[in-house]
Structure 1
Amino acid sequence: MRHYRWGVPALVAAAGYGAVVAVAAAVAAARGDIGFLWRLTLFAEVNEDVTAVWPNALVLLAAGGLWGWALWQGLRGPVAGRPPVTDRGVLRLRVAFYATAGSWMACAVAPAWPWWAVVIDSLIMSALVVLFHPVLRRTVGFTGLALAAGLLSNTSTAAVEVFDVLDWREARRVADMPDLSALAGLIWTALVFLTQWRDGRWRRATVGYGIASLVAPLVLLLMAVPLEIAGISGGVHVSAITAADALSVIWLARSAHELTDPSASLAPVAPSGPPPAQASG
């Protein structure tokens, strides 16, 4: 059984949140008011047309359970024990992963951000792109593509916000390219998943959380009709998709934890060319 550096505080926080969610569900069932449970699990004001029926409450309970699991995964820290000797680049990358996880969590709790907060978030993500670059170069390659895609995805968002504040309309129009930015972000993320899969420091489950964070919203959208037939309001289903952000938080936090896992080790670098021929005789 693994022991984690901050396992006890993380367990207390996750269990406390889960208990409050359970109480909110009971209140919703008793009073017919789902507002508190909605705010507690989706971090937004409730849709007025949503009723406090059990199918809707179960969806919100599932969202709360996912966020409770994210609290545990994020706050528990790395595995207890002496961490391996690492250089400053690895330590900076770990900080960048933690900062990005915190930024994703803040975005979920407070979806509406001022322009300067969006810029800070973009800078944090850009730092992660740059600091992950040496790991990606060592393991996968495609370094130019990965760096360009990652920076394009994040700096374009910040540029749009800054140009909007400065009222530079033409510059904003050029920088506003959501489709290209989304594609670039997907390319960078896929290369990161591939790197983590091949690198010996990250567990398969961590990569699985990352992949699930991309797939889960699509699956939930495809399940809209069956869920409505089951009695779940469309407003609940659509809003609950945002809870998939918890999977991104888990992936980022675990990525940071496992960089200094005492049991982890780097995978050998794959040779760039064919193996040398053996001497005969």
Structure 2
Amino acid sequence: MRIVSTWLDWLTTDAPESRLQGRLAQSYQTFYRFVRNPLAVCGLVIVAILVGLAIFAPLLVPYDPLATDLGSRLLPPSASHWFGTDHLGRDIFSRVISGSRVTLTIVLLVAILIGPIGMAIGIVAGYFGGTTDRFLMGVTDVVMAFPRLILALAFVAVLGPGLENAVIAIAITGWPAYARLARAETLSLRQREFVVAARLQGASVVRILIRYIAPFCIPSAIIRLTLDMAGIILIAAGLGFLGLGAQPPAAEWGAMVAAGRDYLIDKWWVATLPGAAIFVVSLGFNLLGDGLRDVFDRRVN
């Protein structure tokens, strides 16, 4: 521990001799603050396990998650079926592991869509102001006025059930929060000295937005995105529960909970264990997001 402390003092107290040394010091301080938060580390472990299960699902499942066996239907948890079987005799453990792929796919696709779209709208609105700001923020307020799940249900009803349409519906309802966040960051940055200097040197608007403003909005967007993952998972599970998400026979946690609700009293494992998977993964993303906020948010530090 003394060696680590000495190295940290060398990085932080002495004037850095190079830009690389300064970045190493900042990275080490960020990592050190993160690992000191046990809940954040716990969230990171849960998310890492989810990613690992999704990547190696074909190697980890003991049974075919789609294969039915009516002679083994509704078996309780045992050594041969760790999570029991469902009403069609399918191994629930295998289906939960396979369902992690569906969940991670939804999370990644939604993140790819809502982050850049929301940030682009917010940065443009905050930088230009005036009519542009009023119009873009008016559209943002209209979308934010509706509950996300209700609005997602409306879009899926129009687009039709399916995994791709569920992703589009969730993304359409999720970008306004990032637009608001990016707009607030841009308003505080657009008159800063380095932005004014770039403007006086003849830098184009696109260059200013991408190089001088967007990088300062990314940390807040990442934190918000991590915290939003739990909500995205719950909305996706809700759509699956209503039969509007991934379609049978795909292993999707919300659809598995819906299939087991008729057996909840005497065959509790059919619905409870997929529901527990939703709870644990949502908790992991929340813990990870809280940890990232504690590390990157200057107001917390």
Q: TM-score, normalised by structure 1?
A: 0.29
Whose radius of gyration is greater, 1 or 2? 2
**Alignment TM-score, normalising by the size of structure 2:** 0.28
